[in-house]
């Protein structure tokens, strides 16, 4: 007899619009969710994938499908000019916060993601990260130093490595009791899985 619901592992890159669309729906899941930000670039390099591949797919994703998918859940995406950029600052800050207060880390993830995808702020901008860390109770100087610490950098590198073990290769990606689900369109099926 299984006495508790399996947690859902939620993998995402802070630069990913579909990761954002997924993050905004995690409260609809009936199971606990473990948030795992990672760097798609590191994963793509490991598995041999190219991001967005060609102009047609890139245009479809950025200008048609991601905004349309967001509008279906009432959100108006604002993509920054430089998209896609790397997301090292928020990924590192997430794990620095997570080490100190895991609940605050999830709140931070939602806050920072909204700034990127609803306000069009850059994922490379450390000031956005600092503002959101302050909003969940941390001192600005502490988080600015924290994201540069060797411990934080090693933690993110280890998390990127760890994402490869359950064969994660995209964002968002979910693992439920060993079963993989790729894409925000899979969210309606997660509660019943496992």
* Residue 58 · residue 52 · CB < 8 Å: yes
Element of type H or E holding 141: helix 140-146
* Residue 119 · residue 78 · CB < 8 Å: yes
Give the nearer residue to its own copies in terms of CB position, either 2 or 72. 72
Q: How far is the CB of 169 from its own copies (least distance, A)?
A: 4
Q: How far is the CB of 158 from its own copies (least distance, A)?
A: 20
| Stretch 17-56 residues interacting with its own copies (CB under 8 A) | 47-50, 53-56
- The verdict on 83 binding its own copies (CB under 8 A) reads no
Q: What is the CA radius of gyration of the chain?
A: 16
Q: How far is the CB of 190 from its own copies (least distance, A)?
A: 12
Rule CB under 8 A: choose which of 64, 73, 157, 158 binds its own copies. 64
* Residue 16 · residue 65 · CB < 8 Å: no
Q: How far is the CB of 106 from its own copies (least distance, A)?
A: 26
Binding mask 152-171 for its own copies (x = CB under 8 A): ---------------x-xx-
Question: By rule CB under 8 A, what count of residues binds its own copies?
Answer: 23
CA distance 35 to 142: 22
Residue 29 corresponds to which tokens in the numbers above? 């899941």
Is the peptide bond preceding residue 48 cis, with omega within 30 degrees of 0? Answer: no
Candidates 90-98, 102-110, 127-135, 178-186; binding stretch for its own copies (CB under 8 A): 178-186
Residue 76 corresponds to which tokens in the numbers above? 């108006």
How many residues are given for the chain?
A: 194
Sign, CA dihedral 53-55-58-64, equals negative
Rule CB under 8 A: choose which of 59, 127, 151, 161 binds its own copies. 59
Q: 3-class DSSP state for residue 147?
A: coil
Q: How far is the CB of 92 from its own copies (least distance, A)?
A: 25
Give the nearer residue to its own copies in terms of CB position, either 47 or 158. 47
- The verdict on 73 binding its own copies (CB under 8 A) reads no
* Residue 172 · residue 1 · CB < 8 Å: no
Residues that bind its own copies (CB under 8 A): 47-50, 53-57, 59-60, 64-65, 72, 167, 169-170, 179-180, 182-183, 185, 189
């Amino acid at each position: 007899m299984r006495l508790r619901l399996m947690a859902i592992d939620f993998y995402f890159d802070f630069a990913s619009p579909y990761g954002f669309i997924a993050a905004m729906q995690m409260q609809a899941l009936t199971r606990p969710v473990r948030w795992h930000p990672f760097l798609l670039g590191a994963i793509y390099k490991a598995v041999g994938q190219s991001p967005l591949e060609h102009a047609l797919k890139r245009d479809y994703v950025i200008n048609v499908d991601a905004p349309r998918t967001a509008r279906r859940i009432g959100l108006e995406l604002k993509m920054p000019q430089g998209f896609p950029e790397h997301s090292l600052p928020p990924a590192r800050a997430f794990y620095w916060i997570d080490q100190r207060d895991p609940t605050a880390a999830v709140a931070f993830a939602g806050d920072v993601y909204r700034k990127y995808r609803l306000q069009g702020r850059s994922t490379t901008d450390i000031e956005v990260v600092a503002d959101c860390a302050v909003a969940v109770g941390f001192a600005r100087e502490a988080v600015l130093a924290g994201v540069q610490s060797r411990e934080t950098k090693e933690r993110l590198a280890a998390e990127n490595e760890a994402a490869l073990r359950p064969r994660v290769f995209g964002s968002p990606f979910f693992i439920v009791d060993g079963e993989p689900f790729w894409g925000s369109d899979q969210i309606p099926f997660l509660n019943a899985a496992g």
